[in-house]
Amino acid sequence: MNTQLPRIVITGVGLASPNADNLSSYREKLLKGISEIQEIDLRYFGKAPAGICSFNETKYRKKKENKRGTRAGCLGVYCANEALADADLSIEHYGASRVGVYVGLTEHGTVETENEVYNISQYGHNVDYWTHHHNPRTVLNNPAGEIKMNLGITGPHYAIGAACAAGNASLIQGVQMIRLGEVDMALAGGVSESTGSFGIFASFQAQGALGSADDPRKACRPFDTSRNGIVVSEGACIYVLERLESALERGATIYAEIAGYAINSDARDYVLPFYERQAECMELALERAGLAPDDIDILNTHATGTKQGDIEECKAIQKVFGKKNKPYINNTKSIIGHAMGAAGVLELAGNLLAFEDNMVHPSINCDDLDPECTLNNMVFDTPVKLDSVNTILNNSFGMVGINSVIIIKKVSAP
Amino acid sequence: MTRDSIKNLILEIIEDIDEDADFDTLQSDQPLRDQLDLDSMDFLDIVMELRKRHKLQIPEEDYPELATLDSCVNYLEPLLVNV
């Protein structure tokens, strides 16, 4: 990374995950491997395991606003406010026009469209009954826009669409916009309301990629020979990003520095991942961070629990890191499911506190490790305590062949 | 439908939109928008609900008739006479 560029740090985190509504309880649950994946019943589709978030939906806006807006907006508004509170910042600190809101989405509008088609089906498919809320709810800047309206932010707000790499991509966007001087502070992260869409479950099912198990908490089984697909979760995670010097100046608590990142594309297939490009993406992020593979302490995998996806990622990791004693490798989806557009940022958040507690949270649900997914230092079931954790690499890949990697490092007290 | 029933229908629809709406001090001859947390999108919700509940197609030029609770009742009374 060009050392002339401003150093960007994370100073606040707000999250809603299927097992927690704040960073510390989320960390506690991940260290204990506590999954709260449950069975839900979807219109037309029926029952499926899914991750549903429980949080105080009216903590930062009225029920009326939640009813008018979207679930993604509701999740986003909660997390953005929590992130600001965590950072001990008000919008006025930098000024409303100097704050940018960048929200990663795998998809948006599917839930609202399905609901509306169902609604008019009750009226003979007469489109006179189609709601005027449809367009403002389904524009892609909706979740970022709901955050912006709630907080009175007048700087830029928009969505980053990058399939399941979108959370990481938005974090990268936030870093870039601060470095360019477009904004002084970013609220960046990802949101997913996909559990409200029967079509998303049905599509994964048709693809043979929807995870299942008698116990929904065991439905997401990355690296296990019996794995049979993805568990769809809703969720959100928003970070406060600032320049390092501005954060130090105001005495902020600094979680981590975004040390390196990369995004690239497979350019081959709609759904199948490709380890060579994934490996190139990790290598590019390492190069930009000025780090060698040996420097990474924890690698948080993207692995979703699909047959081929997990194998491809393990091949990519093997190619970049070889058979060495570092990094330690874990997986957050095994515990919280796949939060789609929020996945990358939620999973990064799940590892962020390793800089404080030096622990590697475990992956769960792998009783019979697939030989094709075998890597050194995979952490299963029980957390591992390291002497120190200074760097974390987070993988996040998506459909239509998009790969993203973020590397964060610990910022020592000056 | 009686005038009271129409008034209750409108209040019920508004309560569906905003369950925190406070009707205690509502003056029926004053604009609803000035007294409640309602905007143009909410008025479209009222129009939609009347369509769903009573198959009423209210033309856009008549929307100002829904400004106050009294004007709502005056406007809707002949339309809901057989309900």
Does some domain include residue A3?
A: no
Same domain (yes/no): A75, A126: yes
CB A212 within 8 Å of CB A228: yes
Facing residue for A63 by CB, picked from B19, B44, B51: B19
Residue B83, pLDDT score: 85
Residue B66, pLDDT score: 96
Domain boundary among A222, A249, A276: A249
- Band of residue A261 on the pLDDT scale cut at 50, 70, 90: very high
Same domain (yes/no): A105, A155: yes
- Work out the percent of chain A whose per-residue pLDDT is above 90: 98
CATH number at residue A335: 3.40.47.10
Does some domain include residue A236?
A: yes
Cβ–Cβ gap A63/B57 under 8 Å: no
pLDDT at position A184 over 60: yes
Does some domain include residue A150?
A: yes
Cα nearest neighbour of B48 on chain A: A129
Q: Which residues of A146-170 are buried (b: 16+ CB within 10 A; e: fewer)?
A: bbbebbebebbbbbbbbbbbbbbbb
Position A207: which residue type? Answer: Q
Does some domain include residue A397?
A: yes
Facing residue for A129 by CB, picked from B17, B20, B51: B51
pLDDT single digits (tens) A82-102: 999 999 999 999 999 999 999
Mean pLDDT (chain B, rounded): 95
Cβ–Cβ gap A123/B52 under 8 Å: yes
Facing residue for A132 by CB, picked from B19, B44, B52: B44
- Taking the mean position of all CA atoms in its chain, how far away is CA A409? 18
Same domain (yes/no): A245, A277: no
Residue A414, pLDDT score: 65
pLDDT single digits (tens) A281-335: 999 999 999 999 999 999 999 999 999 999 999 999 999 999 888 999 999 999 9
| Chain A CB contacts of B45 below 8 Å | 132
| Chain A CB contacts of B18 below 8 Å | 62-64
DSSP string, A189-224: EEEE-GGG-HHHHHHHHHTT-B---SSGGGS--TTB
pLDDT single digits (tens) A16-41: 999 999 999 999 999 999 999 999 99
Query: Which of these, A66, A63, A86, A88, lies nearest to A76 by C-alpha position?
Result: A66
Interface probe for B, chosen from A62, A64, A142 (most Cβ of B below 10 Å), is A64
pLDDT single digits (tens) A4-15: 899 999 999 999
Same domain (yes/no): A68, A13: yes
| Chain A CB contacts of B44 below 8 Å | 132
pLDDT at position A1 over 60: no
Q: How many other CB atoms are found less than 10 A from the CB of residue A92?
A: 9
Active site residues of A: 164, 302, 338
What's the whole-number mean pLDDT along residues B51-69? 96
Same domain (yes/no): A85, A114: yes
Same domain (yes/no): A306, A287: yes
Same domain (yes/no): A104, A228: yes
Q: What's the predicted TM-score (pTM) here?
A: 0.96
Smallest CA–CA distance, residue B74 to chain A, in Å, is 24
pLDDT single digits (tens) B6-38: 999 999 999 999 999 999 999 999 999 999 989
Does some domain include residue A2?
A: no
Domain boundary among A201, A228, A249: A249
pLDDT single digits (tens) A223-232: 999 999 999 9
pLDDT single digits (tens) A100-149: 999 999 999 999 999 999 999 999 999 999 999 999 999 999 999 999 99
Distance, in Å, from the CA atom of A50 to the CA atom of A219, rounded to the nearest integer, reads 9
Instruction: Say whether the ipTM exceeds 0.90.
Output: yes
Query: What percentage of chain B's residues is helix, strand, coil (to nearest 5)?
Result: 65, 0, 35
pLDDT single digits (tens) A51-80: 999 999 999 999 999 999 999 999 999 999
pLDDT at position A279 over 80: yes
Cβ–Cβ gap B48/A64 under 8 Å: no
| Chain B CB contacts of A128 below 8 Å | 51, 57
Cβ–Cβ gap A133/B41 under 8 Å: yes
Number of domains in chain A: 2
Same domain (yes/no): A160, A224: yes
Same domain (yes/no): A313, A352: yes
pLDDT at position A2 over 70: no
The single-letter DSSP state of residue A334 is H
| Chain B CB contacts of A133 below 8 Å | 41
Same domain (yes/no): A187, A277: no
Mean pLDDT (chain A, rounded): 97
Residue A161, pLDDT score: 98
Q: Does B22 touch chain A (CB under 8 A)?
A: no
Look at residue A145 and give its three-state secondary structure. Answer: helix
Q: How many other CB atoms are found less than 10 A from the CB of residue A125?
A: 10
Same domain (yes/no): A335, A212: no
Q: Which of residues 40-79 of B touch A (CB under 8 A)?
A: 41, 44-45, 48, 51-52, 57
C-alpha neighbours within 13 Å on the C-beta side of residue A13: 28
Does some domain include residue A346?
A: yes
pLDDT at position A259 over 80: yes
Cβ–Cβ gap B51/A128 under 8 Å: yes
CB B28 within 8 Å of CB B7: yes
Cα nearest neighbour of A131 on chain B: B48
Domain boundary among A189, A214, A249: A249
Does some domain include residue A231?
A: yes
| Chain B CB contacts of A129 below 8 Å | 48, 51-52
- Taking the mean position of all CA atoms in its chain, how far away is CA A177? 19
Same domain (yes/no): A266, A215: no
Smallest CA–CA distance, residue A64 to chain B, in Å, is 5
Residue A3, pLDDT score: 55
Facing residue for A68 by CB, picked from B20, B41, B51: B41
Smallest CA–CA distance, residue B38 to chain A, in Å, is 10
What's the whole-number mean pLDDT along residues A147-162? 98
Does some domain include residue A254?
A: no
Residue A412, pLDDT score: 81
Residue A323, pLDDT score: 83
For A78, the domain range is 8-249
